[in-house]
Amino acid sequence: MKKNLIKIFDFLDTAGNLKKTIRYKSAHKMPKESVADHTWRLALMSFVIAEELELKINITKAMEIALVHDLAEAITDDIDALLIYNKKFSLEKKQKMEDEAMKKIKSILPIKIGNKIIKLWREYVDQSSSEAKYVYALDKIEALTYLSETGYKSYGGNNHTGLIATYADKAVADFKELKPVLRILKDKIKKEYKKGKFEWKKEYDKI
């Protein structure tokens, strides 16, 4: 037991890197948050939204997936969506880096919990369960929540408004129960577009 607890604390030391792993680094006007900040709110959202919508999913499992979904970034750093959107970084390279990082993380942990964490993370990546689809959609919605808080001045002008307005659309299409939640966030983002005099296209209203 002692040996395994020591391994767990080695893992927690690595996971602690998420507290200083900054998101949105390529968006220069964006107030920065850590991956740990994002993960905490995503886990909280996973719980409270499932309860409110009375979703027929395993809420504990959803929260576990939320907690591990970005663990690889404790090693890889955050590679934000803007870099991939602008084709400055390939999605394939990002996925390969994260696969290697999770292998390293698994090697730190005791076998049983290491296998469970890898299974949960792989489930999220592969979108192979209702809980994974739910958390993936909420992950996009959490990003929109942050963008609605930071406001239009951080959006970088009209260059990226298409990305922001449609960021959660595909993920929510795969978990339709979250459409009312996305509608609320779209309405908030739309108000910010109007403040910044950004174009809001009709198709952005579609969910």
pTM of structure: 0.94
Which residue is listed with tokens 């296998």? 115
Beta-carbon contacts of 196 under 8 Å, excluding residues fewer than 6 positions away, are: 152, 153, 155
Per-residue pLDDT of the chain in tens (207 residues, 90 and over written 9):
899 999 999 999 999 999 999 998 877 677 889 999 999 999 999 999 999 999 999 999 999 999 999 999 999 999 888 788 778 889 899 999 999 999 999 999 999 999 999 999 999 999 999 999 999 999 999 999 999 999 998 887 656 788 899 999 999 999 999 999 999 999 999 999 999 999 999 999 988
Residue 88's alpha-carbon distances to 26, 80, 110, 152, 164, in angstroms, are: 11, 10, 37, 23, 18
Spatial CA neighbour of 147 closest among 82, 207, 83: 82
- Tell the CATH topology of 2-205: Hypothetical protein af1432 (1.10.3210)
